[in-house]
Structure 1
Amino acid sequence: MQSVVSVIDDDRDMRDALLELLRSSGIPATGFPGVESFLVSAEFETTTCVISDIRMEGMSGFDLIETLGVRQKKIPVILISSYDTLAARRTAAQLNAFSLLTKPFDPQDILNQLWLALRANKSSGDS
């Protein structure tokens, strides 16, 4: 199965920039303005990694990870945030987020984390 990355961010400019970065790197990617729209999409079943903002209207990136756990869907989640706090890092670690990157981040950093997440997901088997 081909890797598909879903990008969830309510900031359209950030979402579009991430999608352009991924697609220009040959990575199929789809964007969503919120967690809720991702969870009801057809892409939910084919997504192999998620890049999600933490703070959004409605469900947060943390809520996404909890929901994936409840649904027993093992998808690595790379969290991104403009707010790098100790509390956010602790929560991300407790929820087993794959990583947490602070905006603005180097595009190569997100690509490196993504390749690591996709490799880890592939070796652990898809659910």
Structure 2
Amino acid sequence: MRNKRQLISIVDDDEPVREAVKGLMRSMGFPTVAFASGADFLQSPVVVRTGCLIADVNMPGMSGFDLHGHLSAQGHAVPTVLITAYPAESARTFALASGVIAYLTKPFVEADLSEAVRIALARRR
């Protein structure tokens, strides 16, 4: 049985991407929940059980960067993987310097996302 802290939370305003990532994580055997916005995720009871957060960088209201920063400021050091359709080297550098586990470009290679989640969960333990 998996540890409850290994819950994977996905935050992406793009429903097809959100559902695809959710399906991939479930196919890997992880309990997974998905949210359309950072605010929805933050209002949910799963924040404290999340072992890895996969969040889109560019979302209305609260970006993936903002969500990661908010969690860190609130004492919830959730290992985070950021995904983006609009990559920028400066954003990647900022993300990694801020403690983000990985900064992946959509469409990403499934193996790259799997490896990032594995690293995130190892850090969460």
TM-score by length of 2: 0.93
- Corresponding residue for 1:125? none
Q: Does 1:40 align with 2:43?
A: yes
1: distance between equivalents of 2:96 and 2:109? 21
Deviating 4+ runs (over 6 angstroms): none
- Aligned residue pair count: 122
Q: Does 1:101 align with 2:113?
A: no
Deviation at 1:109, TM superposition (A): 1.1
2: distance between equivalents of 1:94 and 1:106? 23
Q: Which runs of 5 or more structure 1 residues have no equivalent in the other structure? A: 123-127
Q: Does 1:117 align with 2:124?
A: no
Report matched runs for 1:1-127 at 5 Å.
Answer: 1-2=3-4, 3-122=6-125
The root-mean-square deviation of aligned C-alpha atoms, in Å, is 0.9
Q: Which runs of 5 or more structure 2 residues have no equivalent in the other structure? A: none
Does the 8 Å CA contact 2:83/2:104 hold for their aligned counterparts?
A: yes
Deviation at 1:44, TM superposition (A): 1.1
Aligned-pair identity in percent equals 35
Deviation at 1:90, TM superposition (A): 2.2
Does the 8 Å CA contact 2:50/2:78 hold for their aligned counterparts?
A: yes
Which one-letter code corresponds to 1:41 in the other structure? S
Which one-letter code corresponds to 1:80 in the other structure? I
SS at match of 1:83: coil
